[in-house]
Amino acid sequence: MCVGLAVDPIEKKPIYDFRRGSKVLSTGPNGCNLTCLYCQNWHISQQESTYVQYLDPAELALLAMERSDGLAFTYTEPTIWYEYIMDTAPLVKAKDGFVVMVSNGYVNREPLKDLIGVTDAWNIDLKGWSNDFYRKVCGGDLETVKNSIKMVAESNCHLELTWLLIPGHNDDPKLINDAALWIKETTGENTTLHVSRYFPRYRMTIPATPIPLLEKTVELFRKQLRNVYAGNV
């Protein structure tokens, strides 16, 4: 069930280095397979939405191509919509549109392989650089996400990453340097990375990321990566 429909610039996903200047119809399912304490969209990912709408895959594909250049599965976690995406994405591509996934990367290898086969670009959240953070804060594990990033990077899909910077949780300079080195060695130094500002949401009430910390972290990532951008500022 779709929790929203909106035509956006692709840069808003954020996807900066694929089909720049194009527009996408954005939609997503109700729910998520992680339980991040700071979820920025918790009202649609962590509780039942007050409004959802079912669109037949053919109807959604037609709507996307009438109003934009492609379709983005976003807002919550699209991989939980596996069957629906597998039905819808090929219809968009058959109309010469493109398909974008904005995902947490928490998905098994086989369904991910299928999804890669019907999509064109991914933005995957790399939420931190320790299993402890993933377990305690997100309810998942880092290795699954790293594997997903590697699989997308080795495919024909365009890949970008997002690091939501949370003060005191994933801002340690050593861990950031380790993450940057892994990205450089695994997906390449030209991988686009968005370092986004956290705001207090859901069950996390610590203050928003200070701008100086965000700028410092961007510079740390830039020691290893060429295309690093600050987001949510």
- 93 pLDDT tier (thresholds 50, 70, 90): very high
Report pLDDT for 43: 82
Domains in the chain, ordered, with CATH? 6-231 (3.20.20.70)
- Residue 1 confidence (pLDDT) above 80: no
pLDDT digits (tens, 9 = 90+) for 188-214: 999 999 999 999 999 999 999 999 999
- Residue 47 confidence (pLDDT) above 80: no
**Residue 94, both tokens:** 């058959």
H helical segments located in the chain: 42-45, 57-67, 82-94, 109-117, 131-133, 142-153, 173-186, 211-222
Report pLDDT for 212: 98
**Residue 140, both tokens:** 């998942």
| Coil vs helix vs strand at 220 | helix
Report pLDDT for 186: 98
Contact 73, 101 (CB under 8 A): yes
Written as one letter, the residue type at 107 is: V
- Mean pLDDT, to the nearest integer, of 62-71? 98
Residue 110 has φ and ψ, to the nearest 5°, of -65, -50
Among 31, 5, 26, residue whose Cα is nearest residue 15: 26
- Residue 96 confidence (pLDDT) above 80: yes
Cα separation, 76 vs 44, whole angstroms: 7
**Residue 14, both tokens:** 């954020």
